Each structure stands twice: as structure tokens, then as C-alpha cells.
Amino acid sequence: EGLHQLREALKILAERVLILETMIGLYEPELGSGAGAGTGIPSLLRGKRGGHTANYRIVASRSRDKRG
């Protein structure tokens, strides 16, 4: 149950990060969206992650696992 809750929380966090990245212009607008390429955000920030979804792995700290 705890692992399920952690996964759900991580999914929500990932969605929020994507929303924030979109708001600050890390991703280019989709073609046909009507938005121009120049959004006022430096090109260094736009496409910072290469337009790919990052795969994250959860790594538990061993010191915390030994509680109890």
C-alpha cells in the first residue's frame, strides 16, 4: 500500500512539473497551436530536456529502510 501511494504521489508531481515547464516555456509549442516560436524565453531554456520525457527510477535510502 505504501509503495502504491508513493507511485501515485510521484505521478502527480511529474504532472505538475510538466505543467510548470510548459508555463515557463521549456518546451516549444506544438505545430498548429497558433503560438509563434518566439515566446520571449531564451532558447537555452526552451527544449532544455531535448523534448524527451525523462525516465526516473525511485531509489530508497537504506538508512531509512532500517527503521523499526
Digit-by-digit pLDDT tens for the chain (68 residues) are 999 999 999 999 999 999 999 999 876 556 565 555 544 444 444 445 555 455 555 555 555 455 54
What is the distance between the alpha carbons of residues 9 and 3, in angstroms, rounded to a whole number? 10
Residue 5: the pLDDT is 96
Picking from 17, 12, 15, the residue whose alpha carbon sits closest to that of residue 4 is: 12
Q: According to the model, what pLDDT value does residue 54 have?
A: 54
pLDDT of residue 14: 97
Say what the pLDDT of residue 68 is.
47
